[in-house]
Amino acid sequence: MATPALLACDWGTTNLRAWTLDGAGDVIAERDFPGLGVAGLGPGEAERRFRDEVRPVLSAQGLPAILCGMVGSTLGWTLAPYVDCPAGLDDLAEHLKIVDGPDWVRIAPGVKGPGFNGQGDVIRGEETQLFGWLAADPARRRGRRVVCHPGTHAKWMVAEDGRLARFVTAMTGELFAVLKAHSVLKSEAPADDMAAFDEGLASAGDGSALAARLFTARARVVGLGRPAGGTPSYLSGLLIGADVAATPGLLGIAPDEPVDLLGDPGLCGLYARALRARGVSTDIHDGEAAAVAGLFALYRKARP
């Protein structure tokens, strides 16, 4: 049986995912901690729960540990300051936050940049997945790659010669959640009607005038008699369609430039559907595997 060498954690706002890895970076054990996201933790609670819950469940007491995500934000365990974009894996490794205590624990920094309009943008967690994905194949570290990480706050990233050159954040997933729960579009129906999703994609157009396009999710029901149960799927298609239509241009991405989708396979599948409808080719890559690879790559660079 492989010997555990590292505890790796992707600790976000709502969830914690942890793995024990062997000396080659292969996963020995893994565990989800739903509800243990940093948004629900009080001051000092992250350290205690990491020590008393996460380590024992994975039999990882005393192992070196490396963490990424919102655990390094002002909401988390301790602040791991952002590094400036453009940035590479070496920059993240050089600025890992050292956590005081008896064990070797490091938290990855995020990356900050000027944003598409000079008002700033930040990324924390997805950059580790990006660098893990780049590390997995030398060909990916040559030239230019466009990578989209769908999610609550979707990240569109341009990598050049293995470095994160620029990025932009779109609040697509959060808009969907807020509108579905707290607006005139609220619904408890599942977003699983692909015909309604495709209708939403078509209604997204070029992504402009989104506030006006959103109202069509209501008007199509009360004015045209469409089934109300399809509203969440239509809304999902409309928001994702607007995202893929308008956001890449903020980074100077050509309309037909191929996109690598990195993250949850189901959500990546919806983005791939939306991009294909616009004639854009895509490949889907597993975000969890990329997170593990990124954390292990950081550990190898930082561990003496």
- Angle among Cα 98, 4, 12 to the nearest 5 degrees reads 50
Closest CA to 167 of 187, 153, 185: 153
CA distance 137 to 171: 30
* Cβ neighbours around 195 below 10 Å, total: 11
Domain 110-287: which CATH class? alpha beta
The pLDDT of 39-60, averaged and rounded, is: 95
Q: What are phi and psi of 246, to 5 degrees?
A: -110, -35
> In this structure, are residues 20 and 7 in contact, taking their beta carbons and an 8 Å threshold?
yes
pLDDT band at residue 303, thresholds of 50, 70 and 90? confident
- Angle among Cα 137, 267, 160 to the nearest 5 degrees reads 35
| Residue count (the chain) | 304
Residue 234, token pair as written in the block: 């239509």
CA distance 25 to 300: 9
Q: Percent of the chain having pLDDT more than 70?
A: 100
Give me the pLDDT at residue 283, please.
Answer: 98
Q: Percent of the chain having pLDDT more than 90?
A: 96
pLDDT band at residue 1, thresholds of 50, 70 and 90? confident
Closest CA to 111 of 153, 161, 165, 75: 165
The pTM is what? 0.96
Q: Could you read off the pLDDT of 90-113 as tens digits, one per residue?
A: 999 999 999 998 999 999 999 999
Closest CA to 283 of 254, 259, 264, 265: 259
Q: What are phi and psi of 129, to 5 degrees?
A: -65, -45
Assess whether the previous peptide bond of 232 is cis (omega < 30° from 0): no
The HSE-up count of residue 111 (CA atoms within 13 Å, CB side) is 29
Tell me which residue has tokens 């990356």: 111
Strands 27-34 and 15-21: antiparallel
CA distance 257 to 239: 20
E-strand ranges in 96-226 read 97-98, 105-107, 111-113, 121-123, 144-149, 154-160, 163-170
Tell me which residue has tokens 């109300």: 228
CA distance 36 to 50: 10
CA distance 198 to 236: 9
Q: Could you read off the pLDDT of 181-237 as tens digits, one per residue?
A: 999 999 999 999 999 999 999 999 999 999 999 999 999 999 999 999 999 999 999
> In this structure, are residues 85 and 167 in contact, taking their beta carbons and an 8 Å threshold?
yes
pLDDT band at residue 304, thresholds of 50, 70 and 90? low
DSSP state of 189: S
The domain segmentation of the chain, as residue ranges, is 110-287
> In this structure, are residues 21 and 45 in contact, taking their beta carbons and an 8 Å threshold?
no
CA distance 264 to 199: 23
* Helix, strand, coil share of the chain (percent; to 5): 40, 25, 35
Q: Could you read off the pLDDT of 114-169 as tens digits, one per residue?
A: 999 999 999 999 999 999 999 999 999 999 999 999 999 999 999 999 999 999 99
